[in-house]
Amino acid sequence: MLRSGLPMAQNSFRIILLAFVLLSAPVDAAGPQGVRFRTTSAHNQITVEDSGGYRLLRFNGSMETRMWIANPLRGHFEYTEYFQMPLLWSPEAKRVLIMGLGGGSVVRAYQNDYPKIHVDSVELDPVVAKVAKQFFHVKETAKHKIHFQDGRQFLRLNKQAKYDAIMMDAYTSNQFGTNIPFHLATKEFFALAADDLTKDGTLVFNVIGTYTNWNSDVVGSIYQTLKAVFPHVYHFPASDTRNIVMLATKDPKPLTPKSLADKVKVLRDAHPNLPKNFGPRLKRIRSKAPACAVKAGVLTDNFAPPGGILKTKR
């Protein structure tokens, strides 16, 4: 019995091993279109796909990154461009922190447009970083370091210089949709982040949702929670996706048309080659609290939802 069973066990092992190798290896799809890579990490089912001239990154089916293959600095989702708005408050920024690497759209923009700024990326999944380097032109350099850690733990243990901006784009995803890790969206977490910001620093948070109906409760709660820690919160709705980028500043003075114009002038003096898209994106800034925030509550560590995630349905 043992002798007859051993070859069967070996064959089963070979089949499993072969399936794993095929799953983790680049897929040579016919022509320029199709799946280029697919693998399953400890956190995600990761797929890289080429379609219509774009390279797409998906986690568990949810779209994470889009990049134009012919020019990696183009084709990204518009909301990522609002992650440059912190420079209005810190035109001479030296260090920024990005939580959630994905396909590295924000990293590529900073490396190209603001090469003197040091960028720390915090990513929980090491496989995501490998995919970003292999397929999305993400590079680690003296000015860009990737840290494999939970974002909140990274801030708590941070002994480096403070950041001029902390940018939040960390999400979890599964077959039911994309979700915000609750411990990265509470009043206590935002207070921790504020302590790690310079006096002119800002916190930027990408919220998947809308002002009315779809996920408006999440949008309202994130706004109210940021407002419980920071004096002012501004928000930028993307025009091409259901993303609202919120920017919370430690500056006690509110923006006025004059102060905003002054900030733009100082920023252009500091960065003469400011991207052309900066001006049009700036026009989408909103300073009034969204209606969905009126009845929204403040998120705290004491009231974590089941599973520790804020639901954001597809």
- pLDDT tens digits, one per residue of 210-242: 999 999 999 999 999 999 999 999 999 999 899
pLDDT reported for residue 160: 80
Encoding tokens for residue 27? Answer: 């897929």
pLDDT score recorded for residue 311 = 55
Distance between CA 248 and CA 165 in Å, rounded? 10
Within 10 Å of residue 118's Cβ, how many Cβ atoms? 19
CATH number, domain containing residue 245: 3.40.50.150
Q: Provide the pLDDT for residue 62.
A: 87
Shortest CA distance to 163 belongs to which of 129, 128, 122? 122
By mean pLDDT, which of 35-39, 197-201, 212-216, 305-309 is the weakest?
A: 305-309
Compare 252 and 17 and report the one with higher pLDDT: 252
Residue 51, domain member (yes or no): yes
**Residue 188: its pLDDT value, please?**
97
Backbone dihedral angles phi then psi of residue 79, each to the nearest 5 degrees: -60, -30
Q: Last residue of some domain: 68, 101, 122?
A: 68
* Domain housing 20: 2-68
CA 222 to chain CA centroid, nearest Å: 15
Taking residues 120-144, report their average pLDDT.
Answer: 97
Task: Please indicate whether residue 248 or residue 305 has the higher confidence score (pLDDT).
Answer: 248
Answer left, alpha or beta for residue 61, where phi above 0 means left and psi between -120 and 50 means alpha: left
Q: Specify whether 82 is located in the same domain as 190.
A: yes
Q: pLDDT over 70 for what percent of the chain?
A: 85
Same-domain pairing of 53 and 125: no
* Residues paired with residue 72 on neighbouring β-strands, in sequence order: none
**Buried b / exposed e across 172-189, counting CB within 10 Å, b at 16+?**
bbeeebbbbbbbbbbbeb
Lay out the sheet containing 163-168: strands in order across: 144-148, 118-123, 95-99, 163-168, 197-208, 243-249, 232-237
Residue 127 has pLDDT above 50, yes or no: yes
The confidence band for 175, taking pLDDT boundaries of 50, 70 and 90, is low
Whether 130 shows a pLDDT value over 80: the answer reads: yes
Confidence band of 57 (pLDDT split at 50, 70, 90): very high
Query: Does 73 fall in a domain?
Result: no
Query: Who wins on pLDDT, 184 or 18?
Result: 184
Interval 249-271 mean pLDDT: 96
Residues 48 and 93 in one domain: no
98 and 8 part of one domain: no
- Name the domain count of the chain: 2
The predicted model gives 99-121 an average pLDDT of 97
Q: What is the pLDDT of residue 179?
A: 85
Q: Is pLDDT of 313 > 70? A: no
Contacts of 62 (CB under 8 A, 6+ apart): 173, 177, 178, 314
* 206 and 237 both lie in a single domain: yes
Calculate Rg over the CA atoms of the chain. Answer: 21
Q: In what order do the strands lie in the sheet with 34-40?
A: 34-40, 45-51, 54-59, 62-68
* Distance in angstroms (rounded) separating the CA atoms of residues 189 and 300: 9
Do 219 and 200 fall within a single domain? yes
Per-residue pLDDT, 159: 82
For 139-153, 164-178, 188-202, 216-230, which range has the lowest pLDDT when averaged over its residues?
164-178
Same domain, 52 and 125: no
DSSP code, position 92? T
Please tell me the predicted confidence (pLDDT) of residue 228.
98
- pTM metric for this prediction: 0.86
pLDDT at position 34 is 94
Q: Once rounded to an integer, what is the mean pLDDT over residues 104-126? A: 97
Write the burial class of residue 38 (CB in 10 Å: 0-12 exposed, 13-18 middle, 19+ buried).
Answer: middle
